[in-house]
Amino acid sequence: MSIPVYIRKDYFRAVDISDKSAHILEFHYRPRTVDVYEKGLSVFHMEYLLESKTKARVMEFYLTDFGLRGKGYGTACMNEIVDQLGQKGVTLITAPTGYELAPLGYTGPDQYRELMAGFYEKTGFSVSGDGDLAMKILD
């Protein structure tokens, strides 16, 4: 079951990326996905499930261009999406830190899980003791 959250479907947001320059990102919210564009090109994709009015689960997310990794796009997008979900009443967000198989470009599931745990911690999530789940409680 999924619960709809009504967030403005499309809007622009100015963010600072790690290169210290301002970027205008365009966020497109759909009932189960968020897609982010810069200058008309896709930079970020997230799938999520609202398990209740207050609990969301990130199913997966990725930067659409591997060359964008490490530049701050993922952090900027995740922070904005978490903020928007919080404004709509979501108080808990959970996410897996890895998958059975690592995506292309990684040496294996362990390396990917470690990288994702670090990313989630950087964006304010807590990682479970066994490292397989990240969670964030919102105010």
Task: Record the pTM.
Answer: 0.82
CB 132 within 8 A of CB 98: yes
What class has domain 10-137?
alpha beta
20 CB-near residues (< 8 Å, 6+ apart): none
Q: Tens place of pLDDT for every residue, the chain, 139 residues?
A: 444 444 555 666 666 676 666 788 889 988 899 999 988 899 999 999 999 999 999 998 888 888 888 888 999 999 999 999 999 899 999 998 877 666 667 777 788 888 889 999 999 999 988 878 999 999 8
User: Looking at this protein, which amino acid is placed at residue 6?
Assistant: Y
Q: Are 72 and 13 in contact (CB under 8 A)?
A: no
Distance separating alpha carbons of residues 84 and 87, to the nearest angstrom: 5
User: Can you give the pLDDT at residue 131?
Assistant: 76
Q: Report yes or no: 56 and 3 within 8 Å, Cβ to Cβ.
A: no
C-alpha 97, offset from chain centre: 12
Domain locations in the chain?
10-137
